[in-house]
Amino acid sequence: LLMSAVKPPPTPSPGDGKCLPFFAPYGRYCYFMYDGAEGFSWNDARHYCQSVRTELTSIHSRAEIEFIRNLNFTKKHNIWIGLTRDRNCELLTYKTSLGFVNWAQGEPNSAFHPGDIAEENCVEMYLDGRWNDNNCLMFYRIKECCVYFNTAGKRKHDLFLAQIFF
């Protein structure tokens, strides 16, 4: 796992109801775009997220997709999201039920291409907001979009991170 030489943003205090500097608010969440030169597979991205007390993002609405797409201002980057297939071929998302899906046509297809060393068990979001299952071991240069749950009065917070790659 490659770690950034750039210091990540500070871990937010739980439940103060405000976003940290450089974070963009959306609903009860705060998002941060981190421009890193490292490459991450889905698994490395998740490990990195966990190392800074975050997790890959779960997406629950078309409006949330549009917000994330607008954070990706260059419109040149797909996004790893926190949706993966387990050993029983069930699609799971971190800490949430799969109540919203936005698959591209023909997806998920679990494709296995010649030369691949793993099946497509992780999910990326295309520029148009549609989802594609992809090889979890794919390694990309990325940008990162961090998002954390932050509501006044709550002592518990959930943290998520979406990986944007090109």
- Average pLDDT of the chain is 67
Contacts of 93 (CB under 8 A, 6+ apart): 58, 81, 82, 83, 84
- Reference 34, options 46, 26, 22, 42; nearest CA is 22
Query: Comparing 12 with 130, which gets the higher pLDDT?
Result: 130
**Residue 146 and residue 54 in contact, taking contact as beta carbons nearer than 8 Å:** yes
Q: Is the pLDDT of residue 86 over 50?
A: yes
User: Domain coordinates of the chain in residue numbers?
Assistant: 24-111+119-165
pLDDT value at residue 162? 40
CB half-sphere exposure, 53, CA atoms < 13 A: 11
Structure tokens given for 23: 């974070």
pTM of the model: 0.69
Average of pLDDT values for 98-112? 84
Q: Is the pLDDT of residue 2 over 60?
A: no
> What superfamily does domain 24-111+119-165 belong to in CATH?
Mannose-Binding Protein A, subunit A (3.10.100.10)
Alpha-helical regions (H) of the chain: 42-51, 62-71
CA dist 140 and 69 (Å) reads 19
